[in-house]
Every structure is written in C-alpha cells, then in structure tokens.
Amino acid sequence: MKGMVAPRLGAAQIPTGPVPITRNITVTDGVSVKDLAEKLDLRAKDLIATLLQRGVFVTVNQSLDTELIKEVSRQFGAEAQVISFEDEMANEALENLLTQETTNELEVTRPPVVTIMGHVDHGKTSLLDAIRETEVAAGEAGGITQHIGAYKVRIGKEDSPAYGREIVFLDTPGHEAFTRMRARGAKVTDIVVIVVAADDGVMPQTLEAIDHAKAANVPIIVAVNKIDKQDAQPDRVKQQLGDRGLVPESWGGSTVFVDVSAKKRINLDLLLEMICLVADVGTLRASPDRPALGTVIESKLDRGRGAVSTVLVQNGTLRLGDTFVVGNTFGKVRAMFDDRGRALTEATPSTPVEILGLESIPDAGDVFTVVADRDKAKNVAQYRKMKERESQLAKSSRVSLEGLAEQIKQAGVKDLPIIIKGDVQGSVEVLAESLPRLSTEKVRVKVIHSGVGAITESDILLASASDAIVIGFNVRPERKASELAAQERVDIRLHSIIYELQDEMRKAMLGLLEATIKENYLGRAEVANVFKIPKVGAVAGCRVTDGMFKRDSEVRVLRDSVQIYKGRLASLKRFKDDVSEVRNGMECGISIQNFNDIKVGDVIEAFTAEKIAADIGTALVDTPAAPAQALTPA
C-alpha cells in the first residue's frame, strides 16, 4: 500500500557471527556474483554487501576468485566445491542423457585418433599420403585443398574385416605439437604409430618419439617402412626396439609390428586393421547426443577469414551456430569445413573440423566446450584471461634441485623426472644407469629421456610437459632452447665431471644442497679467422654476435655445441689497441689463457661467475639468465 515501508529483509540475511555448515553447493571457477547468490539462495545485493564488509568491491556480473567463493559460502552456512567449467558441462550432459528414455543408446563406438611419429626421412608423410590415397606433396589440384592438421580415413577394401570403419590421423609437425598439447593436459591421441625405416634402423628421433609416447601412456604400434628396399633389415629394427622394451608379438611381446612400404603400398590395409584392433582393446566410446566437447589441434590467423582453428570433436556433436568456450576465448560456429574443404553443418565424435567465428586465437591443446549461454561463455573466457595474466606474473612452481627438499617435506615421496643429454653415448648410458640408483625412500629418480647432442627445444618441451629437470653433460643448450627454458622456467643443470653431478643430485635429494656458482651470461662471438703470433700464441679474429665481452670475463669455447675448453681471457683487442669491452656487432681479437687450439667456426661464450648460497625452496629459475646458465663449477 502507498506510504507503507517494506521490511528490511536484506540486513537480516547477512550473518554477523559463525554459521554452522548445513549444505554443500557446487559452482564453477570464476562464477559471477549473481550466480553464486542464486546458489546460496540470497539476493545479489546481500552478497555484494557481505563482500563490501570484507573490503572487496564487485559488480553483480563480476567473477570471483576460488578462495573467496569458499570463504563467503561458509559465512552463509554452505561448503562450496569449485569445479572447472568443462566438468560442469560434462555433468549436466550426463544428467540430461540419464533422464532420457533411450538410456541404452547413451554411447557409441567412435573412430580412433592416431598420431604418426618417427625420425626424419623415415617416410611418415609418404605413409600418410599413401593411406589417404592422395599425393599432397605433389600438389594435385584434386587432392586435399587445405592443410588442417588432421584427416579422417575410411577403410574401403571390401574384403577387409575393418571395412567401412574410420580412423583419424593427426598430421602434427613432429613431437613439439604432441608435447605442447600434453603439457596443457590434453589427451587427444588414442594410438601412436612409430615409423621406422627398415634400411636405416632406429635413430635418435625414433627413441625420442618412443619416450614421448610412453610419457603420455599411449599404446604404440611400430610401422617398419621401406621393406621393398634391397638393404632392408626389418628384423634388425625389431631387435633394436626389443632392447628398448618394445618387444614384437611374434617374439612373445605385446607391441604390434607391421612391415609396410608406403611407396609400393604393401600391407597398408594390415596396418589399418591393426590400428582398429588396438582401438577395440581400448573400448573408445562417445555420446553423439550431448553438446560437443573437443580439443584444439592448431590455430592460425587468416587474412580473409580472421581467427581459424582446427578442432577435433571428441564427444557430442558440433553444429553450425553453436556457442563455445575454448581456453581463454569464446565464439560462435559461423562456418565449419572438413579436411577436404567441404562445408559441414554438423560434426560427430572423432571428426576433425576447421571452424570460423572465434574472438581470438586459442592455443593448441585448449579444451573446446559448447555452451548454451553466450554471456556465460564470455564471462568464463574473461575470467580465464585474467587468471592467465596473474599466473604469468606469479612465480613458477617448476621442479628445481634447490626446492626439492621442501617439496619432499610437503608431499612425502617425490618422483624426480630427469632428461639427460651428453656429448657421447657412453657417458649418457652411464648417467642413465647410475642416477636412478641414487633413488631413496623419499625421492625416486626417473630418466624419461636420454640422448646425444646439444640440448634442443624438443628436450625443453618434454621437460616442461613432464615437469622434469634437464641435465647436460659436456653439452650446452642451443640458443632457442635457452630462451624457451627461460620462458617455460625449466631447470637446466650443466656439468663436465660425472662425480660432481652425482654428488649434486645426492645432496639435493638429502636437502643438503650447498652454495652453487651462478653464471651470468655476457655474450658470444664467432671465430672468423685465427692468427698465429710469435710469443703470444693463437689469436682469434671474432665478430661479437650477441651481448658483449669484457676484459676480465671468463670464457668457454664451443665446437658443434660441445664445450671443449673453459678458462679466462688473456687479451681483448680492437685492431692493435687493448680495450676493456667489445659490444654486439663489433669485431675484435681474442686470445685465451693456456689455450691455442682454436679453429674457424668455433663459438666463444663470455660469462661472469658468482657464488650463490643455496636457499632451500628458492629456485634458481627465478632469475631470467639462470635456466640456461645455472651450473655447478666443473
């Protein structure tokens, strides 16, 4: 009635003291103030008033942090469980399907997703081309019209037991994409096919591919290619891989081996049948009736079409016009194309499609989820973008030897995955055998990859995905690998004496890590000429390609990325004059104390060394230069 004052219910709803927990609620991370108020049976303004009392200023559509959600919920007598947005969508889809009458049609068998990996020039692309019966490399006009990174193949041989079945092949550019996706937690691949050339045998990249597949815990099929060549030795390949733990079924093992020839098209049908057989063991199922869920394979910015992304639909059916969230962006499916460039209106489980309609470019491995509410999709994307910005500013929690003791105290038994790279195979084998023997009751040392040569980007990516430490023995990281290690905050340890390395590992595991020498990188120069000067020795004519050289700096000489000498500068000259420093782009003359075996093409690195007292729980990776330079003095 006009003139009457409504009772102030809002003030009474805000508790002033502790409230007993009487119920449980489930919300998504980044839930808005309005949605949380609905879950707590409150008016939004009451919740905003409570947050104001805590000194938090928010609007009704603003997202809340996880800890704040839990604290506020307890204040109103509710215990909040915070789950991811994808988990909530999956739960809703399952509930919807269970309420339907046709519960016996919940799931159907989906095609397997296969990644082909192996060494360079062993025939990965040729094998994929032969399977798809198109010559992509020849650029035929009637072939594949665009590269979308994934292809669906139907088995067309009528007498084949797998006739009519489909297989999806991921055409990734090597191990990098595979590992980047795994680093983000994406489980895309069902089976990995390792291609090995019968005339070449097992090569370093083959072993790397096997290590990546094992780390991802994915079934492996070995395709022994090029068996049509005269010098082909398939049994030698089986012997080499058998020594690595991949024992053929014909020898009493559990790994499927298929002898194939991509050029002569020998046993390709048998390979496809074996893939289907291994897939049947894994019971791959999906529900076509639910909203689509998938993973981004690759993304690009197209000049005419904007942000374009290749998505592998893993569950549900994706349709034109669907609104979706993917990583920290969102969008609406405006157009959809298959691997041959044909427009689609819907995509069923295990179908790779190229979609248009994204707000920005997502990362490979991001989860793709269809949602009904566009505003909700936008809120989730904005919250994730904010959290990503915060996580980039926050300190990394990567494993490092200094922080290991503290982690052991908190977590009990700790697995310490390591990657070993050395200058010769003998040293690498000794380290791979001896370091796991250092395992204690608290720490298990696990070698996930070992190899010969400089530390590469691939090693850093594997370390990032597996949360491992990289150990370099008499080798250095490549320049790009150094930068990637700093970006991914991967701890690299460089040594030249095996006993010091073992001693450092042992002390780290016991929490007794002593003061280390931290190297501050100054610069590098390439040797363009060498002059022999009487009474002086060898003087290297160099061009500084990065950073700077100082008169009092220490140097190391690298030949083919392997350190051959470490010492101090004897002299630093510009023309005939002694100088205190030489900067990037300048030419100079360098002589090194007690070292005359310098050659054209060698690389000289300059650095300064300082002693750092070990601080348990503080990682060296906090300093930008440390990931590539942190080492114990050799």
Mean pLDDT of 269-273: 86
* Contact in structure between 332 and 374 (CB atoms under 8 Å): yes
Residue 89 lies in a domain: no
pLDDT tens, position by position, 26-51 = 877 767 788 888 888 888 888 888 88
376 lies in the same domain as 413 = no
451 lies in the same domain as 539 = no
426 lies in the same domain as 363 = no
* Token pair in block for residue 596: 């005359």
Residue 88 lies in a domain: no
Residue 163 lies in a domain: yes
472 lies in the same domain as 506 = yes
Q: Write down the mean pLDDT value for the chain.
A: 77
pLDDT of res. 177: 57
* Token pair in block for residue 581: 């420093």
* Contact in structure between 355 and 338 (CB atoms under 8 Å): no
Residue 629 lies in a domain: no
426 lies in the same domain as 471 = yes
169 lies in the same domain as 275 = yes
* Contact in structure between 371 and 335 (CB atoms under 8 Å): no
Q: Domain range spanning residue 351?
A: 293-393
Name which residue leads in pLDDT, 132 or 531. 531
* Element holding 494 (H helix, E strand): strand 492-495
- What CATH number is associated with residue 547? 2.40.30.10
Residue 398 lies in a domain: no
pLDDT of res. 616: 33
Interacting residues of 377 by C-beta distance below 8 A, sequence separation 6+: 323, 324, 325, 330, 371
Residue 47 lies in a domain: yes
Burial of 246 per CB tally in 10 Å (0-12, 13-18, 19+): buried
Residue 618 lies in a domain: no
431 lies in the same domain as 343 = no
Confidence of residue 136 (pLDDT cuts 50, 70, 90): very low
pLDDT of res. 555: 92
* The pLDDT of residue 94 is above 70: no
Q: Given strand 492-495, what is the order of strands in its sheet? A: 443-452, 414-422, 469-473, 492-495
* Contact in structure between 257 and 249 (CB atoms under 8 Å): yes
End of a domain among 255, 283, 311?
283
Interacting residues of 370 by C-beta distance below 8 A, sequence separation 6+: 89, 291, 292, 293, 316, 318, 322, 323, 324
Mean pLDDT of 422-442: 79
Mean pLDDT of 493-501: 82
How many domains does the structure of the chain reveal?
5
End of a domain among 64, 83, 102?
83
* Contact in structure between 221 and 193 (CB atoms under 8 Å): yes
459 lies in the same domain as 365 = no
Cα–Cα dist 348/500, whole Å? 56
Angle at 630 (CA atoms; ends 505, 590), nearest 5 degrees? 130
* The pLDDT of residue 571 is above 80: yes
Nearest to 419 by CA among 113, 215, 144: 215
pLDDT tens, position by position, 401-422 = 656 666 666 555 577 889 998 8
Which amino acid, residue 564?
I
Mean pLDDT of 533-555: 88
* Contact in structure between 609 and 567 (CB atoms under 8 Å): no
491 lies in the same domain as 369 = no
216 lies in the same domain as 342 = no
- What CATH number is associated with residue 137? 3.40.50.300
pLDDT of res. 541: 92
Interacting residues of 576 by C-beta distance below 8 A, sequence separation 6+: none
Which DSSP symbol is given to 2?
T
* Contact in structure between 268 and 246 (CB atoms under 8 Å): no
Q: What is the CA radius of gyration of the chain?
A: 30
145 lies in the same domain as 236 = yes
pLDDT of res. 603: 92
* Contact in structure between 242 and 207 (CB atoms under 8 Å): no
pLDDT of res. 1: 45
pLDDT tens, position by position, 302-355 = 778 888 888 889 888 888 988 888 888 888 899 998 887 888 888 888 888 999
Backbone angles phi, psi at 185, to 5 degrees: 85, 10
pLDDT tens, position by position, 222-244 = 988 888 888 788 888 888 888 88
Name which residue leads in pLDDT, 85 or 479. 479
Torsion of CA 485, 486, 487, 491, to 10 degrees: 50
Name which residue leads in pLDDT, 197 or 301. 197
Torsion of CA 174, 178, 179, 183, to 10 degrees: 160
140 lies in the same domain as 267 = yes
pLDDT of res. 143: 38
Which amino acid, residue 236?
R
Say which range, 16-20, 53-57, 450-454, has the weakest mean pLDDT.
Answer: 16-20
* The pLDDT of residue 380 is above 50: yes
- How far is Cα of residue 268 from the mean position of the Cα atoms in its chain? 31
* Contact in structure between 296 and 309 (CB atoms under 8 Å): yes
* Contact in structure between 215 and 466 (CB atoms under 8 Å): yes
Which DSSP symbol is given to 103?
G
Which amino acid, residue 506?
R
Mean pLDDT of 120-138: 68
End of a domain among 283, 303, 332?
283
Residue 90 lies in a domain: no
- What CATH number is associated with residue 423? 3.40.50.10050
